Structure 1
Amino acid sequence: MLTKSPLSLVLAVSAFSVSVPVLAQGQDADASDDDEVIIVTALPPPPAAGAYGGTIVDRSAISDTASGRLEEALARVPGFQQFRRSDSRSANVSAQGISLRAIGGNAASRTLLLLDGVPQADAFFGFIPFSLLPADSIASARVTKGSGIGPFGAGAVAGVIELSAVAPAERPAFSLSATGGSQDARMLALSAAFPLGQGHVAVDLNHEAGDGFMTTPVSQRVAATVPARYRGDSLTLSAHVPVSDGVDLLPRVAMFRDDRTLRFAGADNGAEGVDASLRLLARGRWQLEALTWLQARDFSSIVVSATSFRPTLNQRATPTTGWGGKIELRPPVGPGRLVRFGADVRGADGYAAEDVLAASGVRTLSRRAGGQSLLAGAFVEGDLVLGALAVTGGGRIDHWRLDSGYAQEVRPDGTFQADSRFAGRRGTIASGRGAIAWTLASGLRVRASGYTGFRLPTLNELYRGFTVFPVTTRANAALSPERLRGWESGFEWSPSDALRFGVTAFDNRLGDAIANVTIGNNLRQRRNVQAIRARGVEATLHVEHGPVSIDGGWAWSHSRVRIAQGDVSALPLDGLRPAQSPAHSGSLSIAWSTGGWRAQIGIRHVGAQFEDDRNSDILPAATTVDALVRVPIRQGLTLSLRGENLFDEKVVTRNAAGSIDLGTPRTLWLALRWALD
């Protein structure tokens, strides 16, 4: 359960956020119905942002996926990966870290994911709660690889993904979608938006559940093997409130619960949380964005033995509070120019409480581990556009602190078996980035950029160990922040709106990379290795011809672990591929759209990768084919037929010394959606 004090605080913020539109009602009672209303939900993008080569995933690409999930849409971006190949229906909730460019798989995200400027990663583990981010509510995603640090702060060592929610005023007045699929899967989404005073309010309710599929191969199933059942629920309240001319307030409250069963009966894990945020935008001569947020989350998990098939560990609670704020100012400096500066702060406070169980179910040991982290930084960025030339650059300085770290083991009689207290640590890190782009008359744009960044280890990595049978991984309270430096160059050729082609070459080095290093038989520890170096090439293609469109992307990387000669225990890793990092990945989508009709087929390939740091357990390459057909029945009512993994490709998502988990098999869906404007 969520701890009482964070939850009470969040609910207080929630009550305030929901009440704001009511307080704003009637503030412009004399305004004419003919007055133009400008809906602003974000400050304009910097004029030279394209010099960093970001990829835009639009609303149709997000909504038109076979699974109906946001993570599938992001997976089409070359170089995007989750820690495991399984999605949020069959993965352990705490393993949903995201990364880019094969910089090394990690259950804690090396890519910063923002929703309207608010970090979404769990403050204790670093995973992304995708059940809190239904695809229908997302308007677009901008993916900036490598160079994402800028004004976004720590955590963007592999890049940043900026999600923009659909504004309340841009939603239909009412929409309802009901979806049924294989394995008794069902999805229900209800959305309503309505004006309130001079503002708008939106409500989103989402439910999904299913009996799940067998993640265990037939040859490894036992009596205790069960399908990967899942259930997720979320409720989101958002609003747009014009406070005065040119000033807008955007409150948001979201609540979710996510439950899953993995591999064996009783092996349940789940997360729940309440998030609240408040954003102020001013678009006068001086532009301003002020943002504050609060996150109250919890996670629980039961580990079942793969030999006795009885619970061996009950991670009963992981209550965590995350909070933060940001302010950004943009003074008037003239057309084609932009200066922005500001500051941000982020904090986390949480612990994991778990019980070790005997075969009889009796508690033999209790563990508790956690701590606090704090990040505070200031940044300045500048953009200059002179005709065909665009130049941008900036820097930031961050101060970090780790405090109150501890790890305890308590016997059933209340005496301590271990009681470790870790000294607080702190430091200051400077980082920066810069880019230049030149656009030719032929539609060819060439660009280059360089950047640095860092990521602070999560509370989970620092203080809490874990076991995925038969391997135990120890925590490490001495972990240092990861530091990245890199460069990239590329070109985009777009002679018309119907054709875009781009290629990017990159070279990134992640120093002090945090890895799970083997230190004994079935024993690992989180450690800083000297570096992970990832070099590679990415390519994208978009073609339109009448009603037909083609979108494709490919990523190739040469990613290797580098170990200092004095690091004897980790030396065997030198020159090996980082775990969970494929050399090749790509996707191709072909669609036909006209008059509300749409037919689409998608192909996605993920190259071979390794499960472990020693490159001994391989996850073979896999290619899956998806399809979608959408048919308009009448105004506002559509029917969709969707199919995932149509050829039932076997996708290995875990291989621990031959103990295998599989990904989503062939899954068919039928969906009805009704929208009333």
Structure 2
Amino acid sequence: MRRALLLSVLCSSPAFAEEPPIVVTGSLDRPQAVRTGEQAALALSGRLEDLLATVPGLQQFRRSDSRSSNPTAQGITLRALGGNASSRTTVLLDGVPMADPFFGSVPLSALTPDRLGRVTVWNGGGAGAFSEGAVAGTIELVSEDPREAPRLAGAALVDDRGDSELSGTVSARLGTGGVSLGGRWDRGPGFWTTPVSQRVPASVRAAYESWSTSLRAAAPIAPDVELQLRGLVYDDHRTLRFAGADSSSTGQDASVRLLASGRWKVDALAWVQARNFSNVVISSTSFRKTLDQYGTPATGTGAKLELRPPVGGGHDLKLGLSWRRGAGETQEAAYSAVTGLVTVRRLAGGAQSVFAISLHDEIVSGDLTLSGGVRADRWSQSGGFFRETSAAGVVTTDNRFVNRSGWQASWRTRAALKLGEDATLFAAAYTGLRLPTLNELYRPFTVFPVTTRANAALANERLRGFEAGMTWQPATGISLGLTAFDNKVEGAIANVTIGTNLRERRNVDAVHARGIEASARAQLGTLSLRGALALTDAEVQASGVSATLNGKRPAQTARVSASGSAIWQPADGWTLSLLLRLTGAQFEDDLQVDSLAAATTLGATVELPLAKGFSLVLRGENLTGTQVVTRNQAGSIDLGVPRTVWAGVRVKLR
């Protein structure tokens, strides 16, 4: 059957599944493997962020999903190292960084679980190719191999509000190669994000419509050499809170990859991206348009080359070169909330690039495994500008910012010791680097009544961290894991309050997170049980003009997160799964004035066979009807997904 996806945060350990793993999660160099038979259907909304939410400690900037959030708020972070909307975790699809070149956000609606074959979550910093930005970790997405996929796979579902979800993938083997063409279309009136008590005539549901199409091909071109091609096109439209508050995001991605698996192993990759974003802001008092961000065109390009020479002696040596460049600008007009007329027009943007040289080696000697890596980044920020004109076209501000560049080194090291066949001890230390995004550097924004200024002088963030833990298999089918970690992001970029309804992006001294991650797994015949827990003490360390933040928890981060799942598969084609999630209390803002209450939700999926290749699917989100507050701006509330029930059919034909 088609590969399914299940995530649960697990400690760093060797894979113990006897059969090829489908989904891999974990941290650093030894993630945990999930058995092929565990078909979980735990993406209860059919969306990537819903699947990733089973990883405790993983957060978006807000709790909203990709139907009901602003796309630029879709930054992903691990281990409570957040505090603003940018990703501190690198997300890769078939080796290609997926973050928007301008905003740093991730196009979650375009990265659908039904087109993936493997997901890997690595906590902590790294020193490999494209690890710039991975100060909290890396999420690696791998598309399903077209040679192993069903000839036809798809689903059609509708929920109790009239939202619909239609997806399908056609795959074919071509000699020893293969090709897959997939698509997905989601649309619907959405749900109310505004509480009943705060609705006004201008309030509307979070309507949405998104589609994406992907093409993936793989073809051997010589013995032990394979060429892979991938393309992705997507379009996403959403309406948030008020009529006319519409956003759209579009993207076109293409990549080519060459893999050689002979004595000399080679991974060569090149890619290009084109992205755009638009957004209309509606006043919460006059309900007129106050901002039209009518375009944010951005482009990204990059390449990497990784060589693994046959050095022998128990060594696994990797030598790497990588380069990436992003450029973009925002184009927007501000309007008077009283008259509805244009007051100012703004253009802002720039470019940044990173060239890196990396080396990594792993040595296995009996029960001891040692690994270490170093990476040197040559980074640059160039062409930064901010231009503002009046409604009459008179230039009022024309700032050109100084180009900046430099070298920065990162490293990581790890040791793992097997204690017999049942237990492994490990320890790791690492550093990491993240450049401020073009959005953080050059674009101010307003979420009424708060204005946040950009800051072209922002310095790079740098991670220093270590962790230690163990995995233990006390009995067949049972696995336990425990990791303790201490991670500090020095120079962390935060939205710092500097006046009444005024914030500015600034480097604080650090965001320091210490905590424990625990996991448990039991395979009891046809029943699979999993549990995971993250307890994190995160605080901002700040001085000088940001001293008011010192000792406070970063915005939008919880002390506690947990998940538990049960998957029962009594016969071929039959699946019942339950997923319980807890997200602890959070603060909306840096000064800890507005809070978001803890929320526990329950989801379920039932799949029953109908005929050969066809099955009935019933799916429930937030079945307990828990009120999940996703935004609290001085009492102005947004809500997350309410109780939702889906029904439909799924097909898999080989």
Question: Normalised by the size of structure 2, how large is the TM-score?
Answer: 0.94
Instruction: Quote the RMSD (CA, aligned, Å).
Output: 1.6
The 2-side partners of 1:496 and 1:454 are apart by: 40
Deviation larger for 469-478 or 188-197: 188-197
Q: Deviations over 1:578-624 (max 9, x none)?
A: 00110000100011112221111111000001000001100000000
Structure 2 counterpart of 1:528, from 490, 504, 507: 507
Q: Deviations over 1:213-252 (max 9, x none)?
A: 1101111110100000111100111100111111101011
The 1-side partners of 2:629 and 2:584 are apart by: 11
| Residue matched to 1:342 | 320
| Residue matched to 1:422 | 401
Contact between 1:62 and 1:135, CA under 8 Å: does it hold in 2? no
| Residue matched to 1:561 | 540
| Residue matched to 1:303 | 281
Structure 2 counterpart of 1:135, from 113, 116, 129: 113
Q: What are structure 2's unaligned runs of at least 5 residues?
A: 1-20
The 1-side partners of 2:27 and 2:273 are apart by: 32
Structure 2 counterpart of 1:640, from 599, 602, 617: 617
Alignment pair present for 1:287 and 2:265 = yes
The 1-side partners of 2:35 and 2:412 are apart by: 26
Alignment pair present for 1:617 and 2:607 = no
Structure 1 counterpart of 2:517, from 525, 535, 538: 538
Q: Which residue identity does 1:600 align to in structure 2? A: S
The 1-side partners of 2:147 and 2:410 are apart by: 38
Structure 1 counterpart of 2:55, from 77, 80, 92: 77
Structure 1 counterpart of 2:252, from 271, 274, 277: 274
Contact between 1:78 and 1:539, CA under 8 Å: does it hold in 2? no
The 2-side partners of 1:329 and 1:419 are apart by: 46
| Residue matched to 2:6 | none
Contact between 2:265 and 2:308, CA under 8 Å: does it hold in 1? yes
Secondary structure, aligned partner of 1:299 = strand
Contact between 2:28 and 2:122, CA under 8 Å: does it hold in 1? no
Q: Deviations over 1:331-363 (max 9, x none)?
A: 012374200011101101100000011244322
| Residue matched to 1:314 | 292
Q: CA deviation at 1:419?
A: 0.6
Contact between 1:443 and 1:495, CA under 8 Å: does it hold in 2? yes
The 1-side partners of 2:31 and 2:84 are apart by: 23
| Residue matched to 1:404 | 383
Q: CA deviation at 1:431?
A: 0.7
Greater helix fraction, Structure 1 or Structure 2: 1
Alignment pair present for 1:576 and 2:542 = no
Structure 2 counterpart of 1:607, from 584, 606, 609: 584
Q: Deviations over 1:477-513 (max 9, x none)?
A: 0000000100000001124551111000000111000
1:304-453 correspondence to structure 2 within 5 Å: 304-334=282-312, 336-358=314-336, 359-453=338-432
Alignment pair present for 1:87 and 2:76 = no
Percent sequence identity is: 48
Structure 1 counterpart of 2:449, from 470, 473, 493: 470
Contact between 2:347 and 2:388, CA under 8 Å: does it hold in 1? yes
Question: Normalised by the size of structure 1, how large is the TM-score?
Answer: 0.91
Structure 2 counterpart of 1:512, from 478, 482, 491: 491
Give the length in aligned residue pairs: 628
The 2-side partners of 1:58 and 1:182 are apart by: 34
Q: CA deviation at 1:55?
A: 4.7
Structure 1 counterpart of 2:85, from 107, 131, 134: 107
Contact between 1:229 and 1:262, CA under 8 Å: does it hold in 2? yes
Q: Which residue identity does 1:545 align to in structure 2? A: L
Contact between 1:58 and 1:140, CA under 8 Å: does it hold in 2? no
Secondary structure, aligned partner of 1:293 = strand
The 2-side partners of 1:62 and 1:114 are apart by: 23
Contact between 1:51 and 1:392, CA under 8 Å: does it hold in 2? no
Q: Which residue identity does 1:396 align to in structure 2? A: R
Q: CA deviation at 1:469?
A: 1.3
The 1-side partners of 2:626 and 2:182 are apart by: 34
| Residue matched to 2:16 | none
The 1-side partners of 2:97 and 2:454 are apart by: 24
Alignment pair present for 1:177 and 2:155 = yes
Structure 1 counterpart of 2:469, from 487, 490, 501: 490
Q: Which residue identity does 2:140 align to in structure 1? A: E
1:248-259 correspondence to structure 2 within 5 Å: 248-259=226-237
Contact between 1:58 and 1:139, CA under 8 Å: does it hold in 2? no
Contact between 1:52 and 1:448, CA under 8 Å: does it hold in 2? no
The 2-side partners of 1:213 and 1:509 are apart by: 38
1:147-158 correspondence to structure 2 within 5 Å: 147-158=125-136
Structure 1 counterpart of 2:482, from 485, 496, 503: 503
| Residue matched to 2:635 | 658
Alignment pair present for 1:585 and 2:561 = yes
Q: CA deviation at 1:71?
A: 1.2
Secondary structure, aligned partner of 1:168 = coil
Contact between 1:61 and 1:73, CA under 8 Å: does it hold in 2? no
The 2-side partners of 1:650 and 1:550 are apart by: 27
Contact between 2:48 and 2:109, CA under 8 Å: does it hold in 1? no
Q: Deviations over 1:265-324 (max 9, x none)?
A: 000011001000111000111000000110100000000000001110000000000110
Q: Which residue identity does 2:628 align to in structure 1? A: V
Would the alpha carbon gap of residues 401 and 516 (structure 1) be closer, same or farther in structure 2, given more than 3 Å must change? Answer: same
Q: CA deviation at 1:57?
A: 6.5
Deviation larger for 59-68 or 503-512: 59-68
Q: Which residue identity does 1:594 align to in structure 2? A: P
The 2-side partners of 1:360 and 1:51 are apart by: 55
Q: CA deviation at 1:105?
A: 3.1
| Residue matched to 1:669 | 646
Would the alpha carbon gap of residues 189 and 640 (structure 1) be closer, same or farther in structure 2, given more than 3 Å must change? Answer: same
The 1-side partners of 2:35 and 2:205 are apart by: 34
The 2-side partners of 1:300 and 1:58 are apart by: 42
Contact between 1:629 and 1:642, CA under 8 Å: does it hold in 2? yes
1:91-240 correspondence to structure 2 within 5 Å: 91-240=69-218
Contact between 2:126 and 2:431, CA under 8 Å: does it hold in 1? no
| Residue matched to 2:15 | none
Contact between 2:40 and 2:567, CA under 8 Å: does it hold in 1? no
The 2-side partners of 1:303 and 1:116 are apart by: 35
Contact between 2:28 and 2:123, CA under 8 Å: does it hold in 1? no
The 2-side partners of 1:386 and 1:650 are apart by: 53
| Residue matched to 1:40 | none
The 2-side partners of 1:576 and 1:51 are apart by: 29
Would the alpha carbon gap of residues 214 and 325 (structure 1) be closer, same or farther in structure 2, given more than 3 Å must change? Answer: same
Q: CA deviation at 1:78?
A: 2.0
Q: Which residue identity does 1:240 align to in structure 2? A: A
